[in-house]
Copies of this chain bind each other. A is one copy, B any other.
């Protein structure tokens, strides 16, 4: 195992209540791949098959129907970790044991079952599965704002307790939606910051949010953003506000790439994440929906950006 770098050590020290098992798993993710030791991460998530169905996810690049394709892509690109639901991890866990840290996504939604007001997800795996499959972390999606948010928080709480007891890390996808939230509000700065903060308060080790827009959703928050002059013109400034909302940087926060995008847009996003002090990208469809060679090129460029100091 590589020697823990001072940067990573400083990050781990902030998880001061965690046991050595959980810190070791966080270290595994932070020390792995091309960005190992830098405190930055690029993670490959593949749960779109669950969320949107197989054809919409993989038909554009048919080799991606095979679970092994994704494990191999993450390994070859030198990513920090690979995240996927139970069945997909099971289908490659043995072949790729030890090859790359894995994050077991323990809940999933699907586009056949939709509730606009009270969206939620089904629990499809748990901490015991993560242990038997050799994963470093569990991943959980939370919908702050949903009429089901309190139930989701309570489920998360049980997973958090269980994971921390057995030395796993917890990654929370904190995606505001449902209830009285407007569509634009889901990525508004105040809402993203709030969602990130809730995840931290609920005990997450790594928070994943969407890149925030300049919009503000809640009137009470808007008043404070204006009176206190919170800067939010540039994406880097907004990322910095999210980082601040994650216990002033004591918790790792990564950003999702969103829908299929052009390469230059993705690279610009990464620069802003880096400059704002974010810890990296979770990037799925923008990689596995391209031919493998293009995906590898893109991931190399992304990693290069994170390697540079802001």
Contacts and interface: CB of A to CB of B under 8 A. Distances in A.
Interface in A122-139: 122-126, 128-129, 132-133
Interface in A49-69: 49-50, 52-56, 59-60, 62, 65-67
A190 B50 CA distance: 13
Interface string A111-126: 1111000001111111
A221 B125 CA distance: 27
Interface of A: 14-18, 49-50, 52-56, 59-60, 62, 65-67, 85-95, 108, 110-114, 120-126, 128-129, 132-133, 144-147, 149-151, 153-154, 157, 160-161, 176, 179-181, 190-191, 193-194, 197-198, 200-204, 218, 220-221, 224-225, 227-228, 230, 241, 244-245, 247-248, 250-251
14 contacts: A15-B90, A50-B197, A54-B197, A54-B245, A55-B194, A55-B224, A55-B230, A60-B224, A66-B248, A67-B250, A110-B198, A113-B149, A113-B179, A126-B161
Contacts of A50: 197-198, 201
Given A17-B93, A53-B221, A224-B55, A122 B110 contact: no
Contacts of A248: 65-67
